[in-house]
Chain A
């Protein structure tokens, strides 16, 4: 299948007082038409930066320093700002982190919808009003809520409004950064369901950025795992959970509590992610990895395709099944931290 978006060796750097921080360091990743791709990683791994790079809304001290972002035949990384403006909202929209707090508090919800539809979308007022009502139905928001001010809505309703607003101009690609993180589980459940239904109804592709592997498990058919600015594993969600190929993914699964099949012991990943201003040579996970060998500390492992659609960046990926068994032993991980 031809990807809707193809990232090739994408690099994003932040210039900070301490030096250059390579937040996204050579990311290659495809987003397929009509899929929800989960992008999972912990704080500081570069997942939010990656999302913001795609729609080109990076902070002032950040810069795309390399790579390409192919979208419908054009390289977004090379596009001028005015040309990019024509793509934002219309072609690629974003539900930013804490977007439920990003609505303007002094305007009624309906007026905020109209502004997007009329100003960015070029719709007439009556067409825009029709579309706003449709959008409410689409995300499961009571139509009467268009009369409301944001403070009159619950967190879940505001989050639905933010998603509706991002979908206002029917973009083929939606970037959703932690769309359910601050919400209670019941609301979370409903919104993720809605998101899945939307991809089916509209054919929109979604990149769902989250730290929560349970959200990915319940929502995404395919997932990518990010660590310290790099993609370390890609595959179908079912396969990544059943047979992880990268020790970091194994560690994430070992440390995540399961309510339905509770573990006797949760195994933490000892240590902390590296400083991306001066990352270690070799594999960035090596200092925390229980399976690191000499080669891991000198040579950066490339993201390799191990089976169709299954990618991992680990020198020992071929031994993954055996490492997976060993990874269930908590003592192995403690040794790694020393």
Chain B
């Protein structure tokens, strides 16, 4: 793969309150991560060097043990691609992810299976993520079978306990139900229970409530928070909704066109935003308060295409503060506060 961007993001902004800079506290360390998707230009599959889409383009951060990281950005910003790499459902084009001291790129065979037991995912649409022909009991038992955990009766005990933990009670009535008999909120609780069956330490949730009705979202979010706390889970939460990130996550990372614009403690990032893109997202976010006067937004809504080699800042075309340097030099993350980094030339 050609087209490696000129400047790599140096420095590794730390996520999580628990002193993220000390390597021992971090469960996940991400360094210079890139994922380029090749594009085919002709029907014959001929590729030239520039035919790729920069899904994730040089992202570095760490996730402290037991913390929750929210990754937010508009559609196409690379947040789902990043999440999939964190779970090694996709392999990076470049860069590496170290999970609890293990380089994910090097994993194979039994070591990979062991990793899959420790890292789990919760999906956006529970109606697609859970086999409609499986009973809830079977859907929850499946991870135990795959990982060879327990036997018959013991497995059923675990399934019932898991249902209980996500407040689907009486658990016995849910075991024999099929997905279509459950509401969206109930089924997403099953999705959470399934991710927890193998007792993971790391949970990645990709827009876990965006398909749910507003009145049931809060229940699923509260449950996720409660379980993450009681099990000391390290969680990554992908969302386009800053208000949800603010509610659930200690640390927030804002992505734009494959790059991480800003990362830091959630309250800092969302009340003291430094990157112009974060400021734009905040200004545009709808607020459920008719007395709130939304600010004027100057930026265009047109997102440039992430195809071909990168040059300068990804946000420069929409940025009200763009300077000549922004078209030529890729901004590196700069400390703008305690554990708070912004990749913007405004800050040096």
| Chain A residues within CB distance 8 Å of chain B | 42-43, 154, 156, 184-190, 192, 211-218, 237-238, 241, 251-263, 265-270, 272
Contact = CB atoms under 8 A, between A and B. Distances in A.
Given A154-B302, A189-B294, A259-B287, 8 more contacts: A186-B297, A188-B286, A211-B213, A214-B286, A218-B292, A252-B215, A257-B241, A258-B287
A257 B243 contact: yes
Given A190-B297, A272-B183, A260 B214 contact: no
A255 B215 contact: yes
Interface of B: 74-75, 183, 185, 213-222, 240-244, 246-247, 270, 280-292, 294, 297, 299, 301-303
14 contacts: A185-B240, A211-B214, A212-B214, A217-B287, A218-B292, A218-B294, A241-B291, A253-B288, A257-B247, A258-B289, A260-B292, A265-B222, A266-B222, A268-B216
A154 B75 CA distance: 12
Contacts of B216: 255, 268-269, 272
Contacts of B270: 259
Contacts, number: 122
Contacts of A42: 213-215
Contacts of B289: 217, 241, 258, 260-261
A270 B291 contact: no
A256 B287 CA distance: 10
B74 A218 contact: no
A234 B290 CA distance: 15
B201 to A, nearest CB: 26
A267 B214 CA distance: 11
A260 B221 CA distance: 19
Contact of A186 (B74, B183, B291): B74
A268 B217 contact: yes
B215, B216, B220: residue with the most chain A Cβ atoms closer than 10 Å: B215
A252 B214 CA distance: 7
A272 B292 CA distance: 31
A209 B219 CA distance: 24
B214 A156 contact: no
B341 to A, nearest CB: 21
B284 A259 contact: no
A262 B213 CA distance: 19
A255 B244 CA distance: 11
B205 to A, nearest CB: 16
Contacts of A241: 288-291
A241 B219 CA distance: 21
B280 A43 contact: no
A256 B74 CA distance: 20
Given A211-B214, A257-B246, A186 B299 contact: yes
Contacts of A189: 283-284, 286, 294, 297
Nearest to B76: A184
Contacts of B241: 257
Contacts of B74: 184-186
A222 B247 CA distance: 28
B222 A268 contact: yes
A221 B284 CA distance: 19
Nearest to A42: B213
B214 A186 contact: no
A327 B185 CA distance: 21
A42 B280 CA distance: 29
B280 A186 contact: yes
B75 A256 contact: no
B284 A185 contact: yes
